[in-house]
Chain A
Amino acid sequence: MKKMCCTILCTASLFTLPVGAMAADVTVDSSTILGLGQSDREGEKKETLLPVTQFLGLTADKLGDGNVSLHFYGWGRTDLAGKSYNDNKSAGNLTYGYLQYRFKQANSNIRAGRLFVHEGIINEQIDGVSARTDLPLGFGLSAFGGATVHATHIVGENSDGRGDTVFGGRANYRYKGLFEIGVSGVFESAAPDLVTRAASDYRRIGGDVWIAPFRAVDIIGHSSYDLETKQFAEHSYLLNIKMTPQWILTGEFNQQNDQSYLYPWTSFTSAVLNPDDKSSSVGFSLLHEVNKNLGVVVDSKKYTREFGTASRFGGEARVNFMDNSIRGGIGYHYLDAGQGFAIAPNPTASYHELRCYVMRDTKSYFGAVDVLGDFFKDSIYEESRAWEASTSLGYHFSPALALSGSLSYGRNPQFIEEVKALLRLTYNITYSATGGKK
C-alpha cells in the first residue's frame, strides 16, 4: 500500500506543471536499435531474431520560474521476429522520471519521481523524493525516501526479496577544500519471505572521507557497516599522488567481509557464508601523460580470498590525433590465478588478455574497430582462447541525426561462434543555444 501511494504521488507530481510553464529548453536523446540475430540451440529449431529497442531521454529545463526541470529516460523493446529474451515478445523500463527544483544557492535541490540517489555508501533507485543542500560553516545534508523499485522477476517467486520502502540520507562536513567527512545510512523495510531462497533485510550505515593535505595528494574512500550482521561490510579507499601533471600514481585498497557485504544479494544465499571469510584487493596504477596525444598506464592488483591469492598486471596506451577525432588504444593484462579461482576441473584460472581499438569521428562519417582476445593457460571447455572483433560504421545526416551499423564476430568456450549485428538510428538535439553539452 505504501509503495502504491509513493508511486502514485511521485507520478502525479510530474503532471503538476501548468501547461503555460512548458516553454523550456528541451533536450531529446533517442536511439533506435534494430538487432539482427539467429538462435541455433541444440535440439531446437533455428529461429530468426529481430528485436527493436527504443531508448528515449527527455530533459526539459527552465520550467516555471526557471529553476524547475523535468528528466525522463527509459527504453522499450519489441520483437519483430522470434523471442530475443525469455518468453516475452516485448519489454520496457522507466529508468528515471522526476521533477527537480534547483535552488540557485547552496547546491540545493528537491527531486520527486523515479530517481537515483548516490550519497556516500548509498546507491538506490527509488520512487520517492530526495533533497539536499549545503549548509553554513561547511556542513551539508541530504535525505531521501520512498518506494523501492522492484525490477527483478525471480522464477517461482512473487517478490524480488526486497522490502517495499526505503529511506536514508547523508550528513557531511567540508573544511576549506582540505577534507570532507560524511556519514550516511540506508534503511529498507523488512524483506518479504521467499519460497526458494532466503531474503535478507537491508540496513546499512557508513562513513566516507576525502582528504587533500596537499594539492598533489588526495585520499578518498568509505567504510560501511551492516546493521543486520553487526559487522563491517566494506572498506574501500583510494590514494592519488600527482607527482607532476604528467605523472599520477594511484593506489587502492578494498576489503569486504563476504557475508556482510553480500548479505542482501537475493541471487545468492549470502547469509550462509562463513562470517570470517574476507575478500581483499590491493592495487596500484602509474599514469604517464607523455604528451597531449599519448598516455601510458601500467597497473597491478593482488586479490586475496580464503581459497588463495591471485594477481593481475599489465598496461595500456591511449592515443588521440586531429583534435580528438581519431582515438585509439592498446592494452595487455595477465591474470595469474590458481585452482581456487579456476573453472572446474582446470588447475589454474590464468589468462592473457589483449585489446586494441581505433575509432574515427568526423562531421560526416564515423567508424570504429575493436578487437579483444583472451588466451587461457588451461583450455576452458576445450577452447584455448576466446576472441571478438567488432566494427561499426555510421553517417551523420546532420549534427543531430545519425545512422550506423555494427557487426561483431567472435569465438569463445561458451558459444563456439557468436555473430551479432545491429542497426542504430540516433537523434540527439537540444532546443537551446546556451549551456554545455551533456
Chain B
Amino acid sequence: MRVTKIRLLLLVVVGLVGMVASCAQMKTIPGLPASHPEALVAGQQVNCAECHEDQQKGTMKAFSSFSHTQPFVKNHRFYAASDDRLCSTCHKSSFCNDCHTNKVEMKPSTIYSNRPDREFQHRGNFITLHKIEGKLDPASCYRCHGRANNERCIACHR
C-alpha cells in the first residue's frame, strides 16, 4: 500500500516537473502571426507557394499544401479540421460561418448572390435536387445539418 502511494507521489512529481519543463520550453516554440502580413486580393485563388516556397520550419506543414486551388477549396474541410489557426490568419470565423453555423436566415448563395465565384452549396433548384443528392451521399447533408442548422430539414422531415 505504502509502495503504491510512493509511486503515485513520484508520478505526480514527475508530471509536475514535466509540465514546468514544457512551459519553459514553450517560450521557444514559434507561433503563427495573428494575421497575414500582407493584404490578399479578395476572390483570388491564392498560391501560398508564390512567396512561401521552401519555408517549411520546425513541425509546420508545407505552405504549398494550403494553396487555394479548386481541389483545395472543394476539400477544405480536411485542412480546416487540424489547421484552422492557419486559416484564421486570413479568414475571420464569420467567413466560415456564412455556411457552417447552427442557424441561418437565408441561403449563403442568396446572401452573396453577387459572388458566384464562391461556389456556395444549394444554388438554384436544390430544393428538388436534395431528394436525389441526399440519397446519394447522406453524409454530405449530415456534416452541416446533422448536429445543427436543421430547423428547415425538420419542417418537412417530421
Contacts and interface: CB of A to CB of B under 8 A. Distances in A.
Contact of A341 (B111, B115, B132): B132
Interface residues of B, number: 91
Contacts of A107: 29, 31-32, 85
A424 interface: yes
Contact of A61 (B34, B43, B59): B34
Residue from B45, B138, B145 whose CB has the most chain A CB atoms within 10 Å: B138
For the residues of A in contact with B, the DSSP-based class is strand
A305 B157 contact: no
Nearest to A388: B124
Contact of A177 (B62, B84, B110, B157): B62
A382 to B, nearest CB: 12
Contacts of B58: 176-177
A341 B132 CA distance: 6
Interface string A25-53: 00101010101000000000000000001
B94 A29 contact: yes
B82 A175 contact: no
B71 A93 contact: no
A155 B154 contact: yes
Interface string B67-102: 001110011001111101100011111111100111
A63 B78 CA distance: 32
B146 interface: yes
A238 interface: yes
B1 interface: no
A161 to B, nearest CB: 10
B2 to A, nearest CB: 33
B49 to A, nearest CB: 7
Interface in A260-283: 261-262, 264-268, 279, 281
A105 B102 contact: no
Given A240-B71, A250-B71, A279-B139, A108 B132 contact: no
B116 A368 contact: yes
Contacts of B26: 105-106, 108, 133-136
Interface residues of A, number: 140
Interface string A349-391: 1010001010101000011101010100000100000111010
Nearest to B117: A327
Given A136-B25, A242-B64, A220 B79 contact: yes
Nearest to B35: A435
Question: B49, B75, B95: which has the most chain A beta carbons within 10 Å?
Answer: B75
A201 interface: no
A208 B95 contact: no
Contacts of B37: 435-436
Interface of A: 27, 29, 31, 33, 35, 53, 55, 57, 59, 61, 71, 73, 75, 77, 91, 93, 95-96, 102-109, 115-116, 118-121, 123-125, 133-136, 138, 149, 151-155, 162, 172, 174-177, 180, 182, 196, 202, 208, 210, 212, 215, 218, 220-222, 234, 236, 238, 240, 242, 245, 248, 250, 252, 254, 256, 258, 261-262, 264-268, 279, 281, 285, 287, 289, 295, 297, 303, 305, 310, 316, 318, 320, 323-324, 327, 329, 335, 337, 340-343, 349, 351, 355, 357, 359, 361, 366-368, 370, 372, 374, 380, 386-388, 390, 392, 394, 404, 406, 408, 410, 412-415, 420, 422, 424, 435-438
30 contacts: A31-B111, A35-B106, A55-B111, A73-B94, A118-B84, A136-B21, A138-B59, A174-B59, A180-B82, A210-B61, A210-B82, A236-B78, A256-B138, A262-B146, A265-B147, A279-B137, A285-B71, A318-B117, A359-B115, A368-B116, A386-B125, A388-B123, A390-B116, A406-B110, A406-B114, A414-B127, A414-B128, A424-B114, A435-B35, A437-B40
Given A180-B82, A285-B74, 12 more contacts: A71-B93, A73-B93, A105-B28, A107-B31, A120-B82, A152-B103, A180-B61, A218-B65, A374-B128, A388-B125, A436-B39, A437-B90
Interface of B: 21-22, 25-32, 34-45, 49, 56, 58-62, 64-65, 69-71, 74-75, 78-82, 84-85, 89-97, 100-103, 105-106, 110-111, 113-117, 123-125, 127-129, 131-132, 135-139, 142-143, 145-151, 153-154, 157-158
